Chains A and B, each alone.
Chain A
Amino acid sequence: MAEPMIKAQNLTRMFGDFTAVDHISFEVGKGEIFGFLGANGAGKTTAMRMLTGLLVPTEGEATVAGYDVYTQAERIKKQIGYMSQKFSLYADLTVRENIRLYGGIYGLSDRLIKEKTNDLIAMLGMQELQDQKIGSLPLGWKQKLAFSVALIHEPQIVFLDEPTGGVDPITRRQFWEQIYKVADEGTTVFVTTHYMDEAEYCDRVSIMVDGRIDALDTPSGLKQKYEAEDIEEVFITLARGAQRAE
């Protein structure tokens, strides 16, 4: 791998005597789409919080975009984008206001924000919706916009936490095409999902069980190794072995 954008070595996080993330090691390359799977409670969220500079690890090493998670968390935050289905945009601000808010948070100049806002609205074909409040838009639109806003400061890595929950199958696929596009342009994509067919859209997939990464390979490599028809079968084989009582 040319230049790893994410590098984790024995990354660990304890809460009291509970090991939420247990010595995980992996690398994610530039422009790679990396699927981060695991059952509820396997430790995905804790791992993501460490990689996004929100939580200090108990043990182990990690760098994100070349910055150390212990000492350079603020630099990491400037280099990454984040989007979650649970929270992303402000419902009572308009499309334009949301873009401006995020542009401002990431320290873009007023001129650049204006330029980006117009580009973004044109690219998404949202001209007629630009002065509507986000809360009134269909979920599919919100998600497409949230994704673009997460990329407004041209981050090197974007973290997507269950980005496609609840949308219709066509919109879900349009969303994935947006992901392919930015990955093709060199952005690294780190994504979690409960849709197992989406795992197949990733370049490589890791599966977390009880805080560990129990499998990490290309989707076809995983299917071969576990003699499975699809990733769902691989996932169920691995996650069934979980000891942790949620």
Chain B
Amino acid sequence: MKPIRVQNLVKEYGNIEAVKNISFEVEDGELFGLIGPDGAGKTTIFRILTTLLKPDSGNASVLGKDVIDEYKKIRPVVGYMPGRFSLYQDLSVEENLTFFASVFGTTIDENYELVKPIYSQLEPFKNRMAGDLSGGMKQKLALSCALIHKPKVLFLDEPTTGVDAVSRKEFWQMLHRLKDEGISILVSTPYMDEAEQCDRIALIQEGKILSIETPSDITDHFEKQLWAIKTDNKYRLIQVLRGFEYSDSVQPFGEFVHYTDQRDDFSVSELEEYLQAHELQGLEINKAKPGIEDTFMRLMEQEGNHG
């Protein structure tokens, strides 16, 4: 009995196809990531799996229970943290948690051990109104509320969007602890660097899954040799590289520009000469290992949809 099973799922809003025939499964105790930009269909999938929205066609089940016929059996055993902060802003931190516990017929005390590592950080502010919390604290409270009934499957829709790098890192550490408790987790994020934290990821774009793989295997889809190039003037470097007759892809990447060539066998010295002829200073060209973001862009280009 898989924690999550999705088969040929389709959902349309008017004539917009939000989810186009998507299938995937999440294993027991797995941390599974849906990675993709806004509008990819991630939230629709979450809403279907948490029984808040009916699919147009296809099947989906959570812990072996069908999302349409058995929705009442699903709701008590899953935790859901929606993308938009949806706690009661005019209730205090503690009142929110008490409320969510009571809705699920339990108490804070009963499941305190599970939420303790997260909630203990909020306890000094337990009388503060939820609406007055900072982004990082709201996120911790929302996760505590989603966990207070000890769910078997956890759904987290973009929990780290708009949150700073430090809080994001802490949040992922919390997820790993929950996974160790045996909770299966489906999490979505637009940050590609977070994909590496998942056991497996599905790259999703415009309602379609581009690939499902472990983070380390997914980069095998990047078949070209990737080059990382650096000069003093990045904007000019991009322009000049685009003008190179064998240029395939040119993308800024941190302090480097990632480049692929149309040809399989090309000599670096040729490119070096070309760039030097355009008076680019401080030139460095190195072979680079493609990351998840490189792979995602490659797959997007192959699908022929970007922008």
Interface residues of A (CB under 8 A from B): 38-41, 138-141, 162, 165-171, 173-174, 176-177, 180-181, 183-184, 194-197, 200-201, 219-220, 230-232, 235-236, 239-240, 242, 245-246
Answer yes or no: B285 CB below 8 A from chain A CBs: no
8 of the cross-chain contacts (CB-CB < 8 Å) are A39-B164, A39-B165, A139-B39, A140-B307, A141-B307, A166-B161, A177-B238, A232-B165
Q: Which of B177-197 contact A (CB under 8 A)?
A: 190-193
Number of cross-chain contacts by CB at 8 Å: 105
User: Known interface pairs A39-B167, A40-B167, A201-B252. Does A169 touch B293 (Cβ–Cβ under 8 Å)?
Assistant: yes
Answer yes or no: B234 CB below 8 A from chain A CBs: yes
Chain A: CB-nearest residue to B306: A170
Are the CB atoms of B134 and A246 closer together than 8 Å?
yes
Q: What's the Cα separation between A107 and B125 when bound, in Å?
A: 47
Q: What's the Cα separation between A134 and B193 when bound, in Å?
A: 30
User: Known interface pairs A40-B136, A181-B235. Does A194 touch B165 (Cβ–Cβ under 8 Å)?
Assistant: yes
Are the CB atoms of B164 and A138 closer together than 8 Å?
no
Contacts of A166 in B (CB 8 A): 37-38, 161, 190
Are the CB atoms of B165 and A171 closer together than 8 Å?
no
Are the CB atoms of A235 and B165 closer together than 8 Å?
yes
User: Known interface pairs A166-B161, A246-B136, A246-B137. Does A200 touch B255 (Cβ–Cβ under 8 Å)?
Assistant: yes
Answer yes or no: B105 CB below 8 A from chain A CBs: no
Answer yes or no: B243 CB below 8 A from chain A CBs: no
User: Known interface pairs A168-B306, A171-B306, A177-B238. Does A197 touch B254 (Cβ–Cβ under 8 Å)?
Assistant: yes
Chain B: CB-nearest residue to A42: B164
Are the CB atoms of B164 and A171 closer together than 8 Å?
no
Given contact pairs A141-B307, A167-B190, A173-B251, a sample of 19 additional A-B residue pairs in the complex whose CB atoms are under 8 Å apart: A40-B135, A139-B37, A166-B38, A169-B37, A170-B301, A170-B306, A173-B252, A176-B252, A180-B238, A184-B235, A194-B164, A201-B252, A219-B255, A230-B254, A235-B165, A236-B166, A239-B166, A242-B166, A246-B137
Contacts of B164 in A (CB 8 A): 38-40, 194, 239
A201's partner among B38, B191, B234, B307 (CB-CB below 8 A) is B234
Interface residues of B (CB under 8 A from A): 36-40, 124-125, 133-137, 161-169, 190-193, 205, 234-235, 238, 251-255, 293, 296-297, 300-301, 306-307
5 tightest Cβ-Cβ pairs between the two chains A and B? A168-B37, A246-B134, A180-B235, A166-B38, A200-B254
Chain A: CB-nearest residue to B168: A194
For the complex formed, measure the closest distance between the CB of B195 and the CB atoms of chain A, giving whole angstroms: 11
Are the CB atoms of B38 and A170 closer together than 8 Å?
no
Are the CB atoms of A168 and B238 closer together than 8 Å?
no
For the complex formed, measure the closest distance between the CB of B283 and the CB atoms of chain A, giving whole angstroms: 15
Contacts of A195 in B (CB 8 A): 191
Contacts of B163 in A (CB 8 A): 40, 194
For the complex formed, measure the closest distance between the CB of B16 and the CB atoms of chain A, giving whole angstroms: 9
Q: What's the Cα separation between A97 and B40 when bound, in Å?
A: 28
Contacts of B124 in A (CB 8 A): 245
Contacts of B166 in A (CB 8 A): 39, 235-236, 239-240, 242
Chain B: CB-nearest residue to A238: B166
B38's partner among A139, A197, A220 (CB-CB below 8 A) is A139
Are the CB atoms of B192 and A41 closer together than 8 Å?
no
Residue among A41, A183, A200, A246 with most chain B CB within 10 A: A246
Contacts of B192 in A (CB 8 A): 169
For the complex formed, measure the closest distance between the CB of B17 and the CB atoms of chain A, giving whole angstroms: 14
For the complex formed, measure the closest distance between the CB of B2 and the CB atoms of chain A, giving whole angstroms: 29
Contacts of B235 in A (CB 8 A): 177, 180-181, 183-184
For the complex formed, measure the closest distance between the CB of A176 and the CB atoms of chain B, giving whole angstroms: 6
Q: What's the Cα separation between A36 and B166 when bound, in Å?
A: 16
Are the CB atoms of A168 and B205 closer together than 8 Å?
yes
Q: What's the Cα separation between A72 and B5 when bound, in Å?
A: 61
For the complex formed, measure the closest distance between the CB of A230 and the CB atoms of chain B, giving whole angstroms: 6
